[in-house]
Amino acid sequence: MPIRRLAPAVVNQIAAGEVVERPASVVKEVLENAFDAGARRVDIEIAGGGRDLIRIADDGEGIPADQLALAVEAHATSKIESATDLEGVSTMGFRGEALASIASVSRFMLESRTKGDDEAWRIEVNDGVIGSPAPTAGPPGTRVEVRNLFHTVPARRRFLKSETAESARIAEVVRLLALARPTIGFRLVSNGRCLLDLPATDDPRRRIVGVLGEELDGRLIEVRGEIGSPADGTLTSVWGLVGLPETARPTAKNQRFILNGRAIVDRSLSHALKEGFRGLVEPGRHPVGVCYLEMNPARVDVNVHPAKTEVRFREARPLHGLVRRAIQEALQEADLVRNLAIETSAEAPAGEPSAREGTAPERPTIVTRSSWSGPGSGAGGPSRSTSHPSSPRAGSDRSSAGRSRTSSGVDLARAREAVGDVPMPTATPASPATPAVEVLPTLVGADAVLQVHQSFLVTQDSEGLVIIDQHALHERVMFEKLHDRYAAGPLESQRQLVPIVFDADPASIAALESLAPLLERLGIEATAAGPRGVAIHGFPTLLVSRRVDPGPFLSELLERAAQGEIDRDDHEAALADVLDVMSCKAAVKAGDRLGEREIAELLAMRDRIDREGSCPHGRPTHLRIPIAELERRFGRSPG
Ligand code: ADP
Ligand code: MG
C-alpha cells in the first residue's frame, strides 16, 4: 500500500483512543470545557452508563454561531495561540481535540447561545461529517449531546464494563470535579434517577462533606501553608481539610489534590499526606484529605498526558514539604482526643451550662480544644471550653488542701522540669495486694487522677472524663523525646565492659549492617560477631535507665528489620520505625503500678508532646467521655 495522508475523521478517531477512553472521559472533557467557559452550574444526564446518552448543559459564556463548526474541528481552540502559551496554561483545556475526538466516535450534537445573542444555534456531527449550524430555541450557555458512544469503534465498545460500572465511574469523575470547583453547582441524573445534587457554595467545607460523606462533618481539620514569594513568581500555597485520624479509611480513595483548580494524581503529594499523619494512623489505613494547591502555572507542566491528570512540577521537593508540614502543624494544634459516643455529644445544646456548672473545672488545663471541630459544634453559643471562674469545686479543693503536703512537689512547672532530663517513671511491679483502684491526691493542676487496674489513668478536662492508656501515652512521650534528642545529636551510650553477644541469623546481620549508622547515633553500638552472632558494645543510657535488656531488644529489632517491618531505604522512615520500637520497650507497661510522682510526671509531659491523642502506632492514648454523654446516660439531660 502506498503512503497516504489519513482522512481527518480517521485522525480524530485515533486521537479519541487517547482522549476518550470511556464514557467517564467524555464527561470529564465536556465538564472541563464548561469550567473554562465560566459556568456556575452544570447539569449532567446519562443513560445506559453513558453509552446510550450523555447530555451536559452549562450556563457559561457560550460559543458564537460562526465558531460552532470550529469547536468540533481537531486542533481548534480558543485557549492558546502559540507554543509559548503552553508555558503558563491556566485553562483546563488547550489541546483543542476533545470535542473533535468525541464527535468522531459518536452521534454528536453541540448547541450554544452566547449571552448577547437572542437565539441558540446547533450543529450536528455524524460519522465525522460536520453539518451546518441551524438556529434553535434555548437559554444562554452550551449543551452537548453524545449518543451511541463508540458505535463506530465496536472494539472499544466491547471493552467497556457493565452499565453500572460505567455509571459509577462517571459519578466518580463528577464527584472529583465537584471537589475541584465548589463554587459551581452540579447535578447528575442517570436513567432518570438523581445520583448527585451539589449546590454551588463558597464554603469548600460544605462541598467536601457533600462529596466525601456527611460523617466527616465536624471531623475535619483545616490545613494551610505557603512557600516562596510573589516577587519572583514562586509563591505556592496550600489550603485544605484533612480528616481526624479516626476517619482514616482502608483505601486512599478519599485523598484528593487540586492544583490550580485541576484535580491531579501525584505520588509525591500522596506521600506527603501520609507522612503528615505519620504515627497517627494505623498502618494499612489511609487518612482522608482534600488539598487545594495554588501556584504559578508556569512552574508546572500540565501537558504531560492527554487526560492531564498527571502533571510535572518544576520543583516537587518543596511542595512535598509544604503539604507535609501544613498537615503536621494542623494536627499538632488540634485536639486529637477521641470522644466516646461522639455522636451524642453533638445533641447537647452548645453553651448550655446549667446542668454541669458545678462540675466544670476551674482550669481546663489538660486538653486544649481547638478550632477544628467545625461550624457545627460551636455555632450559636459560647465555646464549651469557656471557663467558669466562680464554679464551686469545694469537694476536690478541700481534699487537695488536706493533702497539700503530699502533693506539694508536683506543680506543673516543677513536674516539667523534673522530666526535662528523663528520670522516667520507674515502675513498681504490681503486687497482688494492691487494690485495683487507687485514688491519688490532686496532682496536675486541680484535677484528681486515679490509676485503674494499673493500666489506665482517669482524670478530667474541660469537656469531660478523660481516660489515658498509660503505656500508650508513655510510649508517645518517649517517641517525641527520643526524636528531639536524636535531632540534637547522638544519644548518650553506655559502654559495655564485656560485649553482650547473641545469636542472629544472616538476615538479621544484614539488617544490622544497613542500620548500623542510624543505630550508632541512637547510642546502640553493635557489630557482627562471626557469621551467626551479634555483639553489643554500647547501649543507650536512656534505655539502660529504663531497664531494657540489650540482647533481646536488639535481637527483636533486627528481626523486625529483616522482615521488612523497618523501612531501610528511607532514612526518616527507618528512624521513626526504630524509635517506635525503642519507645515501646522503654515505656511503662500496662500492669506497672505508678507512684504519685510518676503519674504527675507522665501527665505533665503530655503537655509537651505534639500528638498526645495517639501512640506512635496510631492507637489512641486518650479517650474522653463528654460530660453531655454522662448526663445523658444518667438521665440527666440538661433542659
Ligand atoms: P479545548 O478545550 O482544548 O480548547 P475542546 O475540543 O474541548 O478543546 O473545545 C474546543 C473549543 O470549543 C474550546 O476551545 C472552546 O472555545 C469551545 N467550547 C467547547 N465547549 C465549550 C463550552 N461548554 N462553552 C463554551 N465554549 C466551549
Ligand atoms: Mg476541552
* pLDDT for residue 486: 86
Separation between Cα atoms, residue 598 and residue 248, nearest integer Å? 33
Residues with CB under 6 A from ligand 1: 29, 33-34, 37, 58, 60-63, 71, 77-79, 93-100, 142
Average pLDDT over residues 433-455: 58
Looking at domain 366-373+399-474+589-633, which CATH architecture does it have?
A: 2-Layer Sandwich (3.30)
CA of 410 to the centre of ligand 1 (A): 71
Cα of 353 from ligand 2 centre, angstroms:
56
Residue 55 has pLDDT above 90, yes or no: yes
Greater pLDDT, 591 or 163? 163
pLDDT at site 440? 41
In testing the pocket of ligand 1, which one of 36, 94, 184 has its CB within 8 Å of the most ligand atoms?
Answer: 36
Q: Which ligand is nearest to the CA of 70?
A: 1
- Residue 213 Cα to ligand 1 midpoint, Å, equals 32
- Residue 251 contacts residue 288 (beta carbons within 8 Å): no
Length of the chain measured in residues = 639
Does residue 38 register a pLDDT over 80? yes
Nearest atom of ligand 1 to the alpha carbon of 77: 14
Each residue of 133-173: pLDDT tens digit? 999 999 999 999 999 999 888 888 888 889 999 999 999 99
Whether the per-residue pLDDT at 190 is higher than 90: the answer is: yes
Which pLDDT value is given to residue 613? Answer: 65
Nearest CA to ligand 1 atom 21: 33
Which residue has a Cα nearest atom 19 of ligand 1? 33
* Dist CA 97 CA 306 (whole Å): 9
CA distances from 446 to 198, 354, 388, 406, 626 (A): 49, 22, 14, 14, 19
For a substitution probing ligand 1, which of 28, 33, 112 has the most ligand atoms within 8 Å of its CB? Answer: 33
The pair phi, psi for residue 339, each rounded to 5°, is -85, 135
Contact 195, 171 (CB under 8 A): yes
Ligand nearest to the CA of 34: 1
Share of the chain above pLDDT 90, in %: 43
Rounded to the nearest angstrom, the distance between the alpha carbon of 308 and the centre of ligand 2 is: 11
Atom number in ligand 1 closest to CA 71: 12
Q: Per-residue pLDDT for 373 more than 70? A: no
CB atoms within 10 A of CB 143: 20
Least confident of 54-68, 102-116, 334-348, 478-492: 334-348
Written as one letter, the residue type at 520 is: E
- Cβ-in-10-Å burial (0-12, 13-18, 19+) of 77 comes to buried
DSSP 184: S
Q: Which three cell numbers stand for residue 230?
A: 510573589
Q: Is the pLDDT of residue 233 over 50?
A: yes
Q: In what order do the strands lie in the sheet with 220-227?
A: 220-227, 236-243, 289-295, 255-259, 262-264
pLDDT mean over 245-259: 91
Name the residues around ion ligand 2, CB cutoff 5 A.
33, 93, 98
Q: Residues 542-560: pLDDT tens digits?
A: 899 888 999 999 999 999 8
Of 201-215, 419-433, 625-639, the range with the lowest mean pLDDT is 419-433
| Ligand 1 nearest atom to the CA of residue 34, by list position | 23
Average pLDDT, integer, range 27-42: 97
Separation between Cα atoms, residue 393 and residue 345, nearest integer Å: 24
What is the structure's pLDDT at 610? Answer: 53
Least confident of 115-124, 169-178, 356-365, 535-544: 356-365
What is the average pLDDT across 384-395? 32
Measured distance between the N- and C-terminal CA atoms of the chain, rounded to whole angstroms: 89
Rounded Cα–Cα distance for residues 255 and 272 (Å) = 11
Higher pLDDT, 607 or 231: 231
- Range from 24-28, 397-401, 442-446 that averages highest in pLDDT: 24-28
In this prediction, residue 369 has a pLDDT band, given cuts at 50, 70 and 90, of very low
* Highest-confidence segment of 27-41, 327-341, 507-521, 590-604: 27-41
Q: Which of 56-65, 81-90, 200-209, 246-255 has the lowest mean pLDDT?
A: 81-90
The atom of ligand 1 lying closest to the CA of 142 is 23
The pLDDT of residue 417 is 36
The pLDDT score that the predictor gives to residue 421 is 36
Closest ligand 1 atom to the C-alpha of 62?
25
pLDDT at 447: 66
Which residue minimizes the CA distance to atom 14 of ligand 1?
A: 77
Which of ligand 1's atoms lies nearest the C-alpha of 76?
10
Phi, psi at 96, each rounded to 5°: 65, 30
Give the pLDDT confidence score for residue 199 in this predicted structure: 97
Of 301-305, 346-350, 581-585, the one with minimum mean pLDDT is 346-350
Can you give the pLDDT at residue 158? 84
Asked whether 117 and 95 are in contact (CB, 8 A), the reply is no
Nearest protein CA to atom 16 of ligand 1, as residue: 78
* Contact present, 253 and 307 (Cβ < 8 Å): no
| pLDDT for the residue 12 | 80
Q: What is the CATH number of domain 204-334?
A: 3.30.230.10
Return the higher-pLDDT residue of 333 and 288.
288
Report pLDDT for 462.
81
Q: pLDDT band at 608, cuts 50/70/90?
A: low
Question: Which of 1-5, 36-40, 424-428, 453-457 has the lowest average pLDDT?
Answer: 424-428
Ligand 1 mean position to 31 CA, how many Å? 10
pLDDT at position 364, please?
A: 27
Ligand 1 center to 63 CA (angstroms):
8
pLDDT-derived band at 267, boundaries 50, 70, 90: confident
Phi first, then psi: give them for residue 130, nearest 5 degrees.
-85, 120
CATH number, domain 8-198, options 3.30.70.100, 3.30.565.10, 3.40.50.720, 3.40.50.1220:
3.30.565.10
State phi, psi for 373 to the nearest 5 degrees: -60, -5
Which residue, by CA, sits nearest to atom 2 of ligand 1?
93
41 pLDDT above the threshold of 60: yes
Q: Does position 482 have pLDDT exceeding 70, yes or no?
A: yes
Q: From CA 108, how far away is CA 145, in angstroms rounded?
A: 6
Cα 522 from Cα 179, distance rounded (Å): 45
**What is the rounded CA–CA span in Å between residue 500 and residue 522?**
17
Classified as helix, coil or strand, 518 is helix
Q: Taking residues 354-379, what's their average pLDDT?
A: 31
| CA–CA separation, 582 and 195 (whole Å) | 51
Q: Which of 20, 78, 114 to mutate to test the pocket of ligand 1 (most atoms within 8 A of CB)?
A: 78
Name the DSSP class of 381: S
CA 109 to chain centre: 41
Ligand 1 centre to CA of 431 (Å) is 78
CATH of 490-586, one of 3.30.1370.100, 3.20.20.150, 3.50.7.10, 3.40.1180.10: 3.30.1370.100
Give the model's pLDDT for residue 612.
57
Q: What is the pLDDT of residue 339?
A: 66
Highest mean pLDDT among 220-229, 340-349, 590-599: 220-229
Mean pLDDT of the chain, nearest integer: 80
In the chain, where the domains are located: 8-198, 204-334, 366-373+399-474+589-633, 490-586
* Ligand 1 atom at shortest distance from the alpha carbon of 96: 8
Here the cell at position 47 is 443513560
Where residue 483 falls among pLDDT bands split at 50, 70, 90? confident
Instruction: Report the C-alpha dihedral over residues 432, 434, 437, 440, rounded to 10 degrees.
Output: -160
Q: Which of 251, 277, 255, 282 is nearest to 266 (CA)?
A: 255
Least distant ligand from the CA of 37: 1
- Tell me what percent of the chain is helix, strand and coil, each rounded to the nearest 5: 40, 25, 40
- Cα 113 to ligand 1 centre (Å): 13
pLDDT tens digits, one per residue of 76-129:
898 888 888 878 888 898 888 899 999 999 999 999 999 989 999 999 999 778
- As a whole number of angstroms, the distance between CA 247 and CA 58 comes to 35
User: Residue 599: its pLDDT value, please?
Assistant: 82
Alpha carbons 550 and 417: distance in angstroms, whole number: 29
Alpha helices in 160-214 (DSSP H): 163-180, 204-212
In angstroms, how far apart are the furthest CA atoms of the chain?
Answer: 105
